């Protein structure tokens, strides 16, 4: 089963004096890109957390956050004055630049900003507390992985639908393909008669016609495209970690469809090719989100 790179997970750790929230979300990325926002009490655990994220998620742009639910925090709280002043200075500067008035409740706004309020016990964590928070980290990561799997199921369904559509469109080319050859021969023969009359070598004309028709033949392109469609489905069934491979196959499908378009030389066939390209573009957009 394939997995999406998009996901979200959240978990809570209840400790003796505070409620700690762990959140993690991910988007698509060519490599692992982790951004963390961790309260000071747990920052020495960051390398361990990053290692767990990398092992579990493998790839993606990941935002990880650990924060304290201030409404549930017990014990006295203090205002981090330098942080408060820094927020206030930035807001005043933005007010001058934009001409927007500073809100009347600016103090309450700033007090809700990250790391402005802190518990007097915030820096003191026990092994028992970290075990609780550590378990929440694992739970949040697991929740994100499950989210990715669910998204992967939806993606696989969409891919199968698009591949089936392209296959059906490819099959619909055949009647027009046969009709096209007859029309091309008739058009060239008429042009020859209008240009030189009936005074031409019929055998030589047929030989040149065969050579010209062969250059417009799309049998090989159809077969290669069919093979790519089958290979795409086979790769889907190999499980997660196939995102880049699926992307390469989609590129090869695009080359064959483009060649079909350049050789079609008929309005009906070109319309079919345009519809095939539309289906393929939807695959390419979504395959970027596959692990």
Q: Cβ distance 269 to 173 under 8 Å?
A: yes
For residue 284, give every residue at least 6 positions away whose Cβ sits within 8 Å of its Cβ, in sequence order, or none.
247, 250, 254
Q: Are 152 and 239 in contact (CB under 8 A)?
A: no
Tens of pLDDT, residues 199-217: 666 676 676 666 666 677 8
On whether residue 56 sits in a domain, the answer given is no
Q: What is the pLDDT of residues 98-112, one digit of tens each?
A: 888 888 888 888 887
Residue range of the domain that includes 204: 152-287
Q: How many CA atoms lie within 13 A of 19 on its CB side?
A: 7
Beta strands in 40-101 (DSSP E): 60-68, 77-79
Please check whether residue 125 lies inside any domain of the structure.
Answer: no
- Exposed (0-12), middle (13-18) or buried (19+): which is 70, by Cβ within 10 Å? middle
Residue 282 domain flag? yes
What pLDDT is stored for residue 120 in this prediction?
44
* pTM strictly above 0.85: no
Q: List the chain pLDDT tens, one digit each, 291 residues.
A: 899 999 999 999 987 777 899 999 999 998 999 999 998 888 899 999 999 999 999 999 999 999 888 665 555 567 788 888 888 899 888 888 888 888 888 888 888 787 787 654 445 678 888 999 999 999 999 999 999 999 999 999 999 999 999 999 999 988 887 777 677 777 777 766 677 666 666 676 676 666 666 677 888 899 999 999 999 999 999 877 789 999 999 999 999 999 998 887 778 889 999 999 999 999 999 999 998
Strand arrangement, sheet containing 7-14: 7-14, 19-27, 60-68, 32-38
Domain contains 226: yes
- Tell me if 215 is assigned to some domain: yes
In the prediction, which pLDDT does 72 show?
Answer: 54
Question: Is 93 inside a domain boundary?
Answer: no
Q: CA 16 to CA 207: how far, in whole Å?
A: 91
pLDDT of residue 84: 87
54 part of a folded domain? no
> For the purposes of burial, counting CB atoms within 10 Å of the CB of 29, is it exposed (0-12), middle (13-18) or buried (19 or more)?
middle
36 in a domain, yes or no? no
Q: How many domains does the chain have?
A: 1
CA atoms of 74 and 194, how far apart (whole Å): 97
């Amino acid at each position: 089963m394939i997995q999406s790179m998009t996901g979200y997970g959240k978990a809570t750790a209840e400790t003796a004096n505070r409620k700690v929230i762990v959140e993690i979300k991910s988007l698509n990325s060519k490599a692992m890109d982790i951004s963390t926002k961790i309260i000071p009490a747990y920052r020495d655990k960051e390398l361990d957390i990053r290692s767990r994220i990398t092992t579990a998620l493998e790839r993606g742009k990941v935002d990880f956050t650990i924060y304290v639910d201030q409404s549930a925090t017990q014990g006295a709280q203090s205002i981090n004055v330098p942080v408060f002043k820094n927020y206030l200075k930035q807001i005043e500067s933005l007010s001058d630049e934009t001409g927007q008035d500073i809100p009347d409740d600016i103090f309450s706004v700033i007090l809700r900003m990250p790391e402005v309020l802190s518990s007097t016990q915030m820096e003191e964590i026990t092994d028992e507390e970290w075990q609780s928070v550590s378990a929440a980290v694992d739970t949040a990561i697991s929740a994100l992985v499950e989210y990715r799997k669910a998204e992967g199921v939806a993606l696989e369904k969409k891919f199968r639908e698009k591949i089936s559509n392209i296959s059906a469109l490819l099959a619909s080319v055949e009647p027009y393909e046969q009709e096209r050859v007859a029309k091309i021969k008739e058009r060239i023969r008429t042009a020859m008669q209008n240009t030189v009359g009936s005074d031409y070598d019929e055998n030589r004309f047929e030989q040149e016609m065969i050579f010209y028709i062969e250059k417009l033949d799309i049998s090989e392109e159809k077969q290669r495209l069919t093979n790519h469609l089958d290979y795409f489905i086979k790769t889907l069934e190999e499980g997660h970690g196939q995102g880049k491979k699926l992307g390469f196959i989609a590129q090869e499908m695009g080359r064959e469809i483009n060649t079909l378009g350049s050789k079609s030389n008929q309005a009906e066939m070109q319309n079919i090719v345009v519809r095939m390209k539309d289906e393929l573009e939807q695959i390419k957009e979504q395959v970027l989100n596959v692990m």
